[in-house]
Amino acid sequence: MKLQAELNGENHEIEIRREGEKTFAEVDGRKYELEVSEPEPNVYLLKNGHKIFQVFVSPQEKKDAPMQVSSGGNDFEIKLIDPKRLRGAGIEGASADGAAEIKTAMPGKVARILAEQGAEIKKGEGVLIVEAMKMQNEMKAPKDGIVKEIRCAEGETVNAGDVLAVIE
């Protein structure tokens, strides 16, 4: 996953990829091999060699708002930009009147289903949680609507690109 991050008015190129239990990060050409865990919500432990860093990421109030990050007694305001999302920004509006599919980005296991089929849901509300790489990822509704289909069950293993739910 390639991202751009704005920190203290400077832009940084970031690339993150996961292989097994390892996370590989490249920041402005500097490479890191990390083990990442989330022992509690919004608290991450990053292990780099023999060093462990605890990072707290404040929940965002707005989707595109900068993230408030604390680590080692230092506070940072970071704005992440996903170039892929910018390229596809028009697509989300185009599907506002049709069905929207919720797909997995990577292989994992369905940890919990949060919304029932037939339920009315608002954009941004959680539909289900997929555990991948020992991290739980909440899959959210991309638009207001009705949960038309849930195509998975709790505990089921899913592959990257699988459609897990449909919102109409």
Which domains does the chain possess? 2-84 (3.30.700.30), 97-167 (2.40.50.100)
Listing DSSP states for 98-136 in one string gives S-EEEE-SS-EEEEEE-S-TT-EE-TT-EEEEEEETTEE
Q: Where are the alpha helices (DSSP H) in 1-130?
A: 83-87, 89-94
Which pLDDT score is estimated for 161?
Answer: 79
**How distant, in Å, are the alpha carbons of 76, 98, 139, 155, 158 from that of 147?**
37, 12, 13, 20, 19
In this prediction, residue 89 carries a pLDDT of 37
Query: What is the pLDDT, as a whole number, of residue 149?
Result: 94
Residue 108's nearest CA partner among 59, 34, 162 is: 162
**pLDDT value, residue 84:** 56
Q: How many CB atoms lie within 10 A of CB 71?
A: 14
Could you tell me the sign of the dihedral formed by the alpha carbons of 43, 89, 82, 71, in that order?
negative
Tokens of 82: 């996903």
Residue 54: per-residue pLDDT: 93
88-127 burial: b if 16+ Cβ within 10 Å, else e:
eeeeeeeeeeeebebebeeebebeebbbeeeeebeeebeb
Would you state the pLDDT for residue 7? 86
DSSP assignment, residue 7?
E
H or E element that contains 79: strand 74-81
Instruction: List the pLDDT tens digit at each of the 168 positions of the chain.
Output: 788 888 888 888 888 888 888 899 999 999 999 998 888 888 889 999 899 999 998 887 776 778 899 998 999 998 877 655 543 333 343 344 578 889 887 788 999 999 999 999 999 899 999 988 778 888 899 899 999 999 999 999 988 778 899 999
> Taking Cα atoms as reference points, which of 164, 124, 121 lies closest to residue 146?
121
